[in-house]
Amino acid sequence: MNKVILMGRLTKDPEMRYTNTNNIPVCSFSLAVDRRFSRQNEEKQTDFFPIVAWNKNAEFCSKYLQKGKKIVVVGRLQTRTWDDNEGKRHYITEVIAEETYFAESKKAEGSYNVDDYSPMAVSEQPSEGFVPIDDDDELPF
């Protein structure tokens, strides 16, 4: 099991790219997450984490997220290595976003907004032809 849940703000607009061999969409950005406990009277502390989203979630992120937006990311931790030009190996720990939620509605209530008709969250899970899993009224017990 490997779960990460973060609430924070994008430090920049997300970057959309595509995988070289399979042209899979990848979206990446950095999330600023405030710490809760710090030394008394100390100024606020913030951690910055690299987030990576794939496939449908990548498209969602690149379309609906911008710098400063407050979101909740549910995903998993992952480690990646890369070698710099001096041949030195670097380890980087990233959060792979599996679900993304808006954590605030920027617009005042009542004001029309094109976003009203857009999805509020997305996940890696299938959405077309999806067999209902919340099949409550048919529960056989």
Partner DNA sequence: TTTT
Instruction: Choose the one of its own copies, DNA, none that binds residue 11, judging by a C-beta under 5 to 8 angstroms depending on kind.
Output: DNA
Decide if 54 contacts 96 (C-beta within 8 A): yes
The answer to whether 139 contacts its own copies (rule: CB under 8 A) is yes
Instruction: Choose the one of its own copies, DNA, none that binds residue 139, judging by a C-beta under 5 to 8 angstroms depending on kind.
Output: its own copies
Instruction: Calculate the alpha carbon distances from 55 to 6, 19, 36, 61, 93 in Å.
Output: 20, 10, 32, 10, 20
State in angstroms the smallest separation of the CB of 29 from its own copies: 12
3-state secondary structure (DSSP) of residue 107: coil
The answer to whether 121 contacts DNA (rule: CB under 7 A) is no
The answer to whether 32 contacts DNA (rule: CB under 7 A) is yes
- Closest by CA to 63, choosing from 103, 107, 29, is 29
Residues that bind DNA (CB under 7 A): 8-12, 30, 32, 34, 44, 46, 48, 50, 67-68, 79, 81, 89, 91, 109
